[in-house]
Amino acid sequence: MTKLPPDTRTRGLHELYAEDPENADRLLWNREVDPVTRRGFLKRSSLLAMAAAVGGSIPFADKMPGGLIPAALAQSEEPFTLEGKEGLTVLNDRPINAETPAHLLDDDITPAKYMFVRNNGIPPEVESIDADTWELEIGGESCENPQTFTIADLKEKFEHHTYQLQVECGGNGRSEYVPSASGNQWTTGAVACPTFTGVRLRDVLEACGTKDDAVYIGYYGADRHASGDPGKDPISRGVPMSKALEDESLIAWAMNDEDIPYLNGYPLRVVCGGWPGSVSGKWLKRIVIRNQKHDGTKMGAPSYSVPKNPVAPGSVVPKEDFVTIESMPVKSLVTFPKSGIDHAMGETMTVRGHAWAGDLAVKEVHVSIDFGATWQKAELKEAPNRLAWQRWTTAVDFPETGYYEVWARATDEEGHSQPMVVPGWNPKGYLNNACHRIAVQVA
């Protein structure tokens, strides 16, 4: 095997691929690809080097894209524990951010223990939270009749609703962008789809009256800025009135028929499924009805914004050339089997996962075992309600022993499909909806 330069022995595999995928191919495997298709291995020694690293032959090696880190080597097994959570991987500890490995998201309804944690500030001290006295204020320049509600008031005065709602961080998948973008380096696990119970945001807004000039709502929570400065909000985002008035937009006090977990916003939060999770404010204390686009913390570019037009990787983009992210793109996840498993040759393997598409429904899911050269259609269930993810299932057979990657690709009802590789670069690393893939060793 080609001797690696000294710096590759001390720098991580992920760092090398993040800096320059094609150069990482050369450094690690001495690999060259077909100059036309950008796939395969022109040198047998390079193929043997990668095969040794993944633990076996690669039957569809001629179709493997260049600059692609093998899924078997992209896994992370870092243990991490949080109270009320199991198996999450920590990305940051102040504020706490932790994602869920894909194989732990196999439930149709995400259990609380597997709900990812994405915090922008420091949660209020748990000892300071009293659900019986917690108050929510509704106000703003376009509110006709400002009011304050306790959680008991909300439960008594408004009809209760329960929906299963998909919540995903706008930066989910950020770790795959090259050059790397600042922020938590999420892989695939900043997504969940539990049930939420509460009252419709619309009903509460209507009870307080909305003026004709109302165009947006914004929220404020009880979390504190990481700096400790009481004059700064860690985050205060919102949505247009059209999203706020949807049936599924909730002010919720329960998740999966229990109190919302502390790190996910106990005792009260807003939930607007299908949009970046940052619009679903936690530890909810105040909602304002605005006569303009909300201008709270992290509403301005480049926060939760992408360039209006494609830009070259590494570009500096003027703030006026950004647009705020709204509905999230179509995406899918392989939740079974776990990446890196061994599978017996001659046995059919069941593969399953979830797919979602922001405000839209998913129309189809396809799976590939030959690096996207061919695809087979999976069985897709309808969502239990709008803005919930959809379960997909299929079975695959492997033609010979060796190393395989199972790729999943979803298509939404408007015909948009996931790209096979990371989509157009953006400065903050948002909206990566590239195909998810897992490694399988067939022996």
417-443 tens-digit pLDDT: 999 989 999 999 999 999 999 999 999
More confident residue, 365 or 226: 365
pLDDT at residue 278, rounded to an integer: 98
Dist CA 39 CA 47 (whole Å): 12
Paired with 360 in beta bridges are 357
Reported as a pLDDT band with limits 50, 70 and 90, residue 58 is very high
Name the percent of the chain lying above pLDDT 70. 94
Residue 342 has pLDDT above 80, yes or no: yes
The answer to whether 391 and 403 have CB atoms below 8 angstroms apart is no
Paired with 117 in beta bridges are 98
pTM of the predicted protein model: 0.87
Q: Which of 156, 144, 239 is nearest to 201 (CA)?
A: 239
Task: Give the pLDDT mean for 405-410.
Answer: 98
pLDDT at residue 13, rounded to an integer: 63
Reported as a pLDDT band with limits 50, 70 and 90, residue 6 is very low
Task: Give the pLDDT mean for 29-37.
Answer: 89
Residue 318 has pLDDT above 80, yes or no: yes
Contacts of 50 (CB under 8 A, 6+ apart): 28, 29, 31, 41, 58, 61, 70
Residue 77 has pLDDT above 70, yes or no: no
Residue 78 has pLDDT above 80, yes or no: no
Whose tokens are 């998948």? That residue is: 173
Task: Give the pLDDT mean for 397-426.
Answer: 97
Task: Give the pLDDT mean for 74-87.
Answer: 67
Token pair, residue 219, equals 């929220």
Whose tokens are 């998740």? That residue is: 255
Average pLDDT, the chain: 92
Token pair, residue 324, equals 């705020």
Task: Give the pLDDT mean for 275-300.
Answer: 98
Residue 12 has pLDDT above 70, yes or no: no
Dist CA 211 CA 217 (whole Å): 12
Dist CA 406 CA 421 (whole Å): 14
Residue 411 has pLDDT above 70, yes or no: yes
Residue 404 has pLDDT above 90, yes or no: yes
User: pLDDT tens digit string along 85-129?
Assistant: 888 888 877 688 999 999 999 999 999 999 999 999 999 998 999
Task: Give the pLDDT mean for 133-138.
Answer: 98
Residue 264 has pLDDT above 70, yes or no: yes
Written as one string, the DSSP assignment of 196-262 is: EEEEEHHHHHHHH-B-TT--EEEEEES-B-TT--TT--S---EEEHHHHTSTT-EEEEEETTEEPPG
Q: Considering just the CA atoms, what is the radius of gyration of the chain in Å?
A: 23
Helices (H), 12-75: 13-19, 21-29, 44-54
Task: Give the pLDDT mean for 378-396.
Answer: 98
pLDDT at residue 75, rounded to an integer: 62
Q: Kindly report the number of other CB atoms within 10 A of residue 12's CB atom.
A: 9
Q: Is the peptide bond before 111 cis (omega within 30 degrees of 0)?
A: no
pLDDT at residue 26, rounded to an integer: 82
Residue 334 has pLDDT above 70, yes or no: yes
Residue 299 has pLDDT above 60, yes or no: yes
Residue 325 has pLDDT above 90, yes or no: yes
Reported as a pLDDT band with limits 50, 70 and 90, residue 200 is very high
Region of poorest pLDDT, from 40-49, 122-131, 246-255: 40-49
- How far from 116 is each of 10, 110, 190, 334, 376, CA to CA, in Å? 31, 10, 6, 17, 31
Reported as a pLDDT band with limits 50, 70 and 90, residue 11 is very low
Task: Give the pLDDT mean for 387-408.
Answer: 98
pLDDT at residue 79, rounded to an integer: 47
The answer to whether 171 and 190 have CB atoms below 8 angstroms apart is yes
What count of Cα atoms within 13 Å lies in the side-chain half-sphere of residue 146?
A: 10
pLDDT at residue 234, rounded to an integer: 96
Whose tokens are 């999203």? That residue is: 243
